Amino acid sequence: MSDTSLTAGTLAHKKTLTPRVRISRFLLSILDPRAYLHGLRLLNHYNQTHVIPRRAVSFGPNAAVSPTCQFANPERITLGARAHIGAGCCIWAGPKLGRIEAGDDLLLGPNVMLTAANYRFRDGAPVSAQAMDEASIRIGNDVWIGAGATILPGARIGDGAVIAAGAVVTGSIEAGEIFAGIPARKVGQR
């Protein structure tokens, strides 16, 4: 049997269906609860990963957070007044000790990563089975962190500092300094 005969047979069958039968099949497909199951799963996933964690974050007044941001261990995250968190940012406090504390007027570009914990990577055991090293991240007032930058555990960023897009910050940055690169190095003063 060729593919063309299958197609022709299927088309012939559809032509014989009356409008009443077509409408009843359509209505049955809409009313079938299985049609909505996938949508409910997506809604539940979004609720678990975005809505519930956001309730535990301590936001200052007039903070604006993109709906696509992710928070981990939100009870240890504090964002100051007028913080603006761009799309796709990940703000992950440590599971036990590592906190993330940011001052007022923080501006995070899209896809910025703040993490207060990293896995160890010693020989002899899989990385995912090893304990995490945690250290708090402290960010001052009026700080701008560009798109795709990564701020690692223990980073200290002073008031008025600027972090360029794509930079990786591992240490301390003084007030008003401009840092760029991997690892981030001072490239100017504000």
Q: Confidence class of residue 128 from pLDDT cuts 50, 70 and 90? A: confident
All domains of the chain in start order, with CATH: 16-56 (no CATH), 57-189 (2.160.10.10)
pLDDT digits (tens, 9 = 90+) for 10-62: 555 556 778 888 888 887 777 777 767 777 777 777 777 666 777 778 899 99
Residue whose tokens read 């991240």: 137
Per-residue pLDDT band for 162 (boundaries 50, 70, 90) equals: very high
Structure tokens at 97: 């000790």
Residues in CB range of 71: below 8 A, 6 or more apart: 53, 54, 56, 57, 77, 91, 92
In this predicted structure, the answer to whether residue 82 has a pLDDT above a threshold of 90 is yes
Query: What's the pLDDT score for residue 109?
Result: 96
Q: What is the pTM of this model?
A: 0.73
Q: Which of 49-53, 90-94, 113-117 has the lowest mean pLDDT?
A: 49-53
